[in-house]
Amino acid sequence: MQSHMTDTPIYKRILLKLSGEVLMGGQGFGIDYQVADYIAEEIKDVWSMGVEVAATVGGGNIVRGVTVSDKGVARVTGDYMGMLATVINALALQDALEKKGVHTRVMSAIEMREVCEPFIRRRAIRHLEKKRAIIFAAGTGNPYFTTDTAAALRAVEIKADIILKATRVDGIYDADPLINKDAKFLERMTYLQVLERQLKVMDTTAISLCMNNQIPILVFNLKHKGNIRRVVSGQPLGSLVKD
């Protein structure tokens, strides 16, 4: 633990939004277990501070619904395949967290009782109050909704203080900084600015949900060790979306 960091969290309950691609690491497909271990360590760091941690994870490293439907699979079927991929990722992350002593529950929007718990809002809140980390899997359980929307919906349901969107870049830019060297960093935005400028923060449904329920979104770089702790401790980092 780095001693120079403050230990006073400004958020009590967070929702961490992870993409499936993050779990891929440098591979072209699947799960890099060293990356899962790294993410688990970062989560444990803030969990140890007493922050209540929930996470959602995408499935793009295994199956992305939109992509398989482009290849001729029925869109609804493709989306369900993508939801099942998120369960695989959630189980991998749960395993990594429990190896570090973080009590973790996977809650799925699609029932599969042998593998994980069904999502029940009151039970989820109870887990958080008992200092268990939760990973929400299977999106919203409905086709045509992204894991962005699932993250926003779950954040609203559990009354999270903030959504932390973990990315490979330092925050929100007006263009993709990995492609465009002149992309401009945007430190602070309103929900409406994000919608009007069609910035790739989260999809429009997710942004609208957050706007209607006043849940701020902070986009930050997960690759820098200690960044989740920095964010939770209120250090200026990443890009913030709020009114």
Q: Are strands 185-186 and 172-173 parallel, antiparallel or unpaired?
A: antiparallel
CA pair distance 92, 23, nearest whole angstrom = 9
Strand partners, 106: 135
CA pair distance 236, 212, nearest whole angstrom = 25
CA pair distance 108, 98, nearest whole angstrom = 18
227 part of a folded domain: yes
5 part of a folded domain: no
Q: Are strands 104-108 and 117-118 parallel, antiparallel or unpaired?
A: parallel
Q: How many domains does the chain fold into?
A: 1
Contact 69, 75 (CB under 8 A): yes
CATH of the domain at 217: 3.40.1160.10
Angle of CA points 40, 43, 47, to nearest 5°: 130
79 part of a folded domain: yes
139 part of a folded domain: yes
72 part of a folded domain: yes
H or E element, residue 66 = helix 65-70
CA pair distance 231, 238, nearest whole angstrom = 8
Per-residue burial over 163-174, b if 16 or more Cβ lie within 10 Å, else e, is: bbbbbebbbbbe
6 part of a folded domain: no
162 part of a folded domain: yes
pLDDT digit string (tens) for the chain, length 243 residues: 444 455 799 999 999 999 999 999 988 899 999 999 999 999 999 999 999 999 999 999 999 887 888 889 999 999 999 999 999 999 999 999 999 999 999 999 999 999 999 999 999 999 999 999 999 999 999 999 999 999 999 999 999 999 999 999 999 999 888 889 899 999 999 999 999 999 989 999 999 999 999 999 999 999 999 999 999 999 999 999 999
Tokens of 226: 């200690």
Task: Report pTM.
Answer: 0.93
Domain that holds residue 194: 13-241
171 part of a folded domain: yes
CA pair distance 67, 188, nearest whole angstrom = 32
The backbone torsions φ and ψ at residue 172, rounded to the nearest 5 degrees and listed phi first, read: -95, 135
Angle of CA points 167, 56, 17, to nearest 5°: 25
